[in-house]
Amino acid sequence: MTIILGLESSCDETAVALVREDGHVIAHKLATQETHHAPYGGVVPEIAARAHAEALMPLVDAVFREAEMTLADVDAIAATAGPGLIGGVMVGLVSGKALAHAADKPLIAINHLEGHALSPRLADQGLEFPYLLLLVSGGHCQLLRVEGVGQYCRLATTIDDAAGEAFDKTAKMLGLGYPGGPEVEKAARSGDPKAVPLPRPLLGSGEPHFSFAGLKSAVLRAQESGKYRAEDIAASFTQAVIDCLIDRTKLALESGGPVSALVVAGGVAANMGIRSALTDLAVRYDVPFVAPPLWLCTDNGAMIAWAGMERFRLGLIDGMDVAARPRWPLDPDAEKVRGAGVKA
């Protein structure tokens, strides 16, 4: 059976995994940089790149040790080649090239977003194309019709901030620490989602896109007013995000063409409130709902190895001259949306 080694280093997690053709994750390891970036309240690119350089090869060794395998046992090496913080991406891609060269194995350059987009097929081997994907991460908030490997039709994107970015900024405003998403989720558990009146940008709009900048500003005003508990702001904010995500996903289900399933991926998909609202939506629209397990939603090496597997099976391998890309849209034909150029 084919075995792929996957390397991920595009943001603040260094991650390595070995994945088998039948979807079995043989071994996976992850080094988070949370403590490196926490004092700054966000990811510092230079610190990230250096930390990836220090962590990556020891993780590769650890994964092979746990699997009781060597580089000779893998069929190909998949490395994230973008989009992301370019210093970190280069560390992973250059390491992937070096390993591929040393072991005389094919290299597969992976779009990090394709890693997220295909990860549900690692978790659920029966999931068939086309499916409607809500991709919600720190840098992206998109609805995509996934038609095949490398075939993505973007139905919607954010015109300003990504959903994860809104979670991270809300956490910072509320003094909840970094990384923001899980902290906001924790605080929201003891808050009232109806306590703070917050806007739902673009709710009910005929245009398909997302917007979170206005919500973020409203959170800041609520915080500065001194009238509300942080827990209530966190819960009300989360409810506003849920309402926006559900409304936009509903529109895509109604107008995006038939799909085999509604699928969610990306770090924000770890949020239980969002998962359960999407589950209800899928029931209402009579489509199966697929969400990868939590560890596969946030950045990890297995999703990169799996995207490598899907590409390898189709003979899609790359040359040693493949370049790292800070920007790399999944659907290059998608129309530019006002203000959204930097997010794609």
By the criterion CB under 6 A, which residues form the site for ligand KG4? 11, 137-139, 164, 167-168, 179-182, 185, 266-268, 270-271, 298-299
Q: Find which of Zn ion, ligand KG4, none residue 268 binds, CB within 5 to 8 Å per kind.
A: ligand KG4
DSSP bridge pairs for 292: none
3-state SS class at 136: strand
Please state, in angstroms and rounded to a whole number, the distance separating the CA atoms of residues 310 and 296: 16
Closest CB to Zn ion among 12 and 160?
Answer: 12
Give the shortest CB-139-to-ligand KG4 separation in angstroms.
5
Closest CB to ligand KG4 among 149 and 162?
Answer: 162
Q: Find which of Zn ion, ligand KG4, none residue 181 binds, CB within 5 to 8 Å per kind.
A: ligand KG4
3-state SS class at 261: coil
Is-contact 156 210, C-beta < 8 A?
yes
Specify the amino acid at residue 338. Answer: R
Interface contacts to Zn ion, rule CB under 5 A: 137, 299
Closest CB to Zn ion among 137 and 271?
Answer: 137
Give the shortest CB-60-to-ligand KG4 separation in angstroms.
20
Copy the structure tokens of residue 39: 């004092």
Specify the amino acid at residue 75. Answer: D
Closest CB to ligand KG4 among 3 and 174?
Answer: 174
Range list of H helices, 141-212: 163-173, 180-188
Closest CB to ligand KG4 among 67 and 118?
Answer: 118
Q: Find which of ligand KG4, Zn ion, none residue 8 binds, CB within 5 to 8 Å per kind.
A: none
Give the shortest CB-179-to-ligand KG4 separation in angstroms.
5
Closest CB to Zn ion among 37 and 105?
Answer: 37
Is-contact 29 78, C-beta < 8 A?
no
Q: Find which of Zn ion, ligand KG4, none residue 167 binds, CB within 5 to 8 Å per kind.
A: ligand KG4
Give the shortest CB-126-to-Zn ion separation in angstroms.
24
Closest CB to Zn ion among 137 and 142?
Answer: 137
Please state, in angstroms and rounded to a whole number, the distance separating the CA atoms of residues 66 and 25: 12
- Three-state secondary structure string covering 215-260: HHHHHHHHHHHCCCCHHHHHHHHHHHHHHHHHHHHHHHHHHCCCCC
Give the shortest CB-265-to-Zn ion separation in angstroms.
9
Give the shortest CB-303-to-Zn ion separation in angstroms.
8
Q: Find which of Zn ion, ligand KG4, none residue 308 binds, CB within 5 to 8 Å per kind.
A: none
Specify the amino acid at residue 126. Answer: G
User: In sequence order, what are the residues at sequence separation of 6 or more whose Cβ sits closer than 8 angstroms to the Cβ of residue 111?
Assistant: 80, 81, 82, 83, 307, 328, 330
Give the shortest CB-89-to-ligand KG4 separation in angstroms.
12
3-state SS class at 78: strand
Closest CB to ligand KG4 among 25 and 67?
Answer: 25
45 class by beta-carbon count within 10 Å (0-12 exposed, 13-18 middle, 19+ buried): middle
Give the shortest CB-310-to-Zn ion separation in angstroms.
17
Q: Find which of Zn ion, ligand KG4, none residue 270 binds, CB within 5 to 8 Å per kind.
A: ligand KG4
Please state, in angstroms and rounded to a whole number, the distance separating the CA atoms of residues 109 and 77: 9
